[in-house]
Amino acid sequence: MKLYDLSKIADGLLDIHNAGKVHKDFHSGNILEGGKMFISDLGMCQPANNEEKSDKKGVYRVLPYMAPEVLRGYQYTKAADIYSFGIIMNEFLSEEIPFNDVPHDHILAIKICKGLRPKISEDISKFLVDLIMKCWDAKAENRPYAKELYQTLNKWCATEFNDHDDEFILK
């Protein structure tokens, strides 16, 4: 069911991006479950082409989910939401909160900018690991678009359901 839920979260992110918006505060605390998955807390959501500069006085979001380019002060983009999705995907599959054992401070921010990512559980299938790593690639242009992410997850869901009679096998 986790793969199905992730495809529904990706579908919600696709809806946001298709509306020409970026979420800007995308983390697992903003995912609601109620028969289906919902993305909540759109308070920071704004047009994707907004030329607003990052607030140099401080960034008030959930650090482990923030893309390195945002931490460096660059404009928030749809690719930054995709980075956050990769962190959420890893958390969802591994059932481990990202960087739960270290302070969420400037040192962690620097390490994320230098390439630190949460540990990926050995129980996660290679095809999912590859997608997670593509989502949180250091270069925003290497990350998939929300449409590609949704289509990939949706295809894998259909394959898993057909091959395993409604039973998901993640390894």
The set of catalytic residues is 25
Residues 6+ apart with CB under 8 A from 170: 2, 3, 93, 123, 124, 125, 128
Count CA atoms within 13 Å of residue 112 on its CB side: 26
Residues 6+ apart with CB under 8 A from 154: 7, 10, 11
Q: How far is it, in rounded angstroms, from Cα 16 to Cα 14?
A: 5
Dihedral (Cα; 88, 92, 94, 99), 10-degree rounding: 40
Buried b (16+ CB within 10 A) or exposed e, 145-162: ebeebbbbbbebbeebee
CB atoms within 10 A of CB 85: 27
